[in-house]
Amino acid sequence: MSEQQHSNRSLLAKLAGYYLPTLLIIGLILILTTGLKNPVGPVETHLPHEELLLKLIGYSALFCEVAAVFVIVTGAVHALASYMRRIMDRSLVNQIKGSEAIRLRLGHKLSLSLEFAMASDILRLAVSPTFSSIIVLFTIILLRVLLNYFLEHDLEVIREYDILPELDTLKNKHE
């Protein structure tokens, strides 16, 4: 690949890096505004053994919500414990590396918890699809996309500046 092509690809990646999240956030705001101005009523459905199905889906959605909370709480506790271990380190470089590692780990756990929240909303949507529940699901999906996008961006920056060399060893193990 020529240097000109690499430069053009790099420029396009940088533009996408700035505009994609902005467009997603603007889209979310427009959808929320539209949904608030034009609410849609509930859809009527009748299913065989509907009560049993509603209970099963209700407990499944509750399980997914509990799993999301569990992942968030354990991730936050783990991040706090890791931070407390590193707080006494006198080296600024080690503190920065430690903080970045903690932040990335917590970000990935938050992303996982959004997966569980999304599963819960999909289950609830299967039972009673309303415009507001679709908006909530879309919002969770968008938050997850944005979180993953920024985590990947941060990983690229960390690799570029070699802040956490351990990430390269992980990458090589998976290849």
Distances (CA, A) of 142 to 111, 124, 135, 146: 11, 18, 10, 6
Same domain for 150 and 102?
Answer: yes
Same domain for 91 and 24?
Answer: no
pLDDT at position 61, please? 96
165 Cβ contact list (under 8 Å, min separation 6):
none
d(CA 32, CA 115): 21
Q: Are 75 and 107 in contact (CB under 8 A)?
A: no
Report pLDDT digits (tens) over 5-41: 555 566 667 666 677 777 877 877 787 777 667 665 5
Same domain for 28 and 64?
Answer: no
Same domain for 100 and 25?
Answer: no
Same domain for 111 and 30?
Answer: no
Report pLDDT digits (tens) over 51-74: 888 899 999 999 999 999 999 999
Q: pLDDT band at 172, cuts 50/70/90?
A: low
Q: Is residue 169 part of a domain?
A: no
Across 132-143, b (16+ Cβ under 10 Å) vs e yields ebebbbbebbbb
Domain that holds residue 18: 1-37
Same domain for 5 and 75?
Answer: no
Q: Is residue 151 part of a domain?
A: yes
pLDDT at position 91, please? 86
pLDDT above 70 (res 1): no
Task: Report the number of distinct structural domains present in the chain.
Answer: 2
Q: Who has greater pLDDT, 141 or 77?
A: 77
